[in-house]
């Protein structure tokens, strides 16, 4: 007898996901042909947390148990960063680098075309104000249900978080920096239907405050150098990059 989805109670969420799971230095990463399709699949499966993993974050996850746990429990960890792509290549996985900023933008455009409710959290009050205006004019139809800048007084956060959850957005982009954005999302997204994604400095770029590295630097895989020149104070954090490479090589 033929069975259908209704009679078996089958939903897509019970099928294994279309991406393969592997690890880089013990941190989970999804290998998928198309990260945008994977994100939409996750939304259909009931939503969840998306992490964009680079070498610096991989090392931070190993040193910071709270960040490590948030990434371990995330629903989709995509390889953002030449270092992670290189490490996957050594395991025989040929994947394209998937910059989080590009996936986030593609999701905003999809959201605008499909009536998704969108919330933005993080960045300075000035950046958030410019961002709201820019996104509304650059992406017609975008339904921004809530925007919360990232420098609120501590006593305001619980109320804002309740408001955000109450809005049940389909897409929540969070620019609070690593590791805070990942641990904050992990705490808040449970039981929510949307995609919740940490986007680091993306709001600063979209608002025009900061620039992305030119494409030729991306091709040479030295975007980190551009970032260091823009923000020299990051030099200490960037020592994680050679440490990452060394650890990958040491493990063979
Ligand atoms: N940020 C914030 N609240 C804070 C600290 C940072 O909203 O208390 C924002 C900051 O304005 C920036 C983003 O978080 O827009 C972090 O960007 P960064 O480039 O440092 O990201 P990371 O490399 O840490 O992911």
Asked if 144 and 201 sit in the same domain, the reply is yes
pTM of the entire structure?
0.93
CATH code at position 196? 3.40.50.2300
Ligand 1 atom nearest to 204, measured from its CA: 15
Asked if 135 and 167 sit in the same domain, the reply is yes
Domain presence at residue 109: no
Asked if 197 and 218 sit in the same domain, the reply is no
Domain presence at residue 52: yes
Confidence of residue 89 (pLDDT cuts 50, 70, 90): very high
Asked if 135 and 196 sit in the same domain, the reply is yes
Asked if 136 and 11 sit in the same domain, the reply is no
Domain presence at residue 182: yes
Task: Give the span between the Cα atoms of 237 and 202, in whole angstroms.
Answer: 18
Asked if 202 and 218 sit in the same domain, the reply is no
Look at the block and give the residue holding tokens 């009931």.
46
Question: What separation in Å is there between the alpha carbon of 209 and the centre of ligand 1?
Answer: 13
Ligand 1 atom nearest to 210, measured from its CA: 19
Asked if 197 and 222 sit in the same domain, the reply is no
Domain presence at residue 179: yes
Asked if 135 and 80 sit in the same domain, the reply is no
Asked if 53 and 69 sit in the same domain, the reply is yes
Task: Give the span between the Cα atoms of 118 and 124, in whole angstroms.
Answer: 18
pLDDT score at 4: 38
Asked if 202 and 219 sit in the same domain, the reply is no
Residue of the CA atom closest to atom 5 of ligand 1: 176
Which of 176, 178, 199, 206 for a ligand 1 pocket mutation test, highest count of atoms within 8 Å of Cβ? 176
Residue 1, pLDDT above cutoff 50: no
Write out pLDDT tens, residues 207-216.
999 999 998 9
Domain presence at residue 129: yes
Question: What separation in Å is there between the alpha carbon of 106 and the centre of ligand 1?
Answer: 21
Q: 50 - beta bridge partners? A: 76, 197
Domain presence at residue 104: no
Total domains, the chain: 2
Domain presence at residue 103: no
Cβ neighbour number for residue 118 with a 10 Å cutoff: 23
Domain presence at residue 108: no
Which of 100, 128, 154, 175 for a ligand 1 pocket mutation test, highest count of atoms within 8 Å of Cβ? 175
Structural domain range at position 36 = 7-98+214-252
Asked if 44 and 90 sit in the same domain, the reply is yes
Question: What separation in Å is there between the alpha carbon of 175 and the centre of ligand 1?
Answer: 6
Ligand 1 atom nearest to 176, measured from its CA: 14
Write out pLDDT tens, residues 92-104.
999 988 999 999 9
Asked if 137 and 63 sit in the same domain, the reply is no
Q: List all residues whose CB is within 6 A of at least one atom of ligand 1.
A: 122-124, 150-151, 175-178, 200-201, 203-204
Residue of the CA atom closest to atom 20 of ligand 1: 177
Residue, of 249 and 230, whose pLDDT is higher: 249
Q: Could you tell me how far CA 208 lies from the centroid of its own chain?
A: 20
């Amino acid at each position: 007898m033929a069975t259908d989805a209704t009679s078996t109670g089958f939903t897509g969420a019970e099928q294994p996901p279309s991406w393969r799971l592997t690890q880089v230095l013990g941190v989970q990463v999804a290998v998928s042909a198309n990260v945008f399709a994977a994100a939409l699949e996750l939304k259909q499966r009931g939503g969840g947390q998306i992490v964009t993993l680079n070498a610096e974050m991989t090392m931070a996850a190993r040193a910071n148990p709270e960040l490590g746990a948030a990434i371990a429990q995330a629903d989709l960890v995509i390889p953002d960063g030449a270092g992670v792509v290189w490490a996957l290549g050594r395991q025989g996985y040929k994947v394209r680098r998937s910059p989080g900023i590009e996936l986030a933008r593609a999701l905003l455009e999809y959201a605008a075309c499909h009536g998704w409710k969108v919330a933005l959290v993080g960045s300075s009050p000035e950046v958030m104000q410019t961002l709201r205006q820019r996104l509304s004019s650059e992406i017609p139809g975008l339904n921004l249900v809530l925007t919360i800048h990232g420098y609120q007084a501590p006593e305001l956060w619980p109320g804002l978080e309740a408001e955000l959850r109450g809005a049940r957005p389909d897409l929540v982009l969070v620019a609070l920096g690593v590791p805070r954005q990942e641990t904050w999302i992990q705490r808040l997204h449970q039981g929510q239907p949307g995609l919740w994604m940490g986007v680091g400095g993306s709001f600063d770029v979209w608002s025009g405050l900061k620039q992305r590295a030119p494409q030729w630097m991306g091709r040479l895989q030295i975007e980190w150098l551009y970032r260091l020149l823009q923000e020299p104070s990051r030099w200490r954090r960037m020592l994680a990059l050679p440490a990452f490479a060394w650890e990958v090589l040491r493990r063979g």
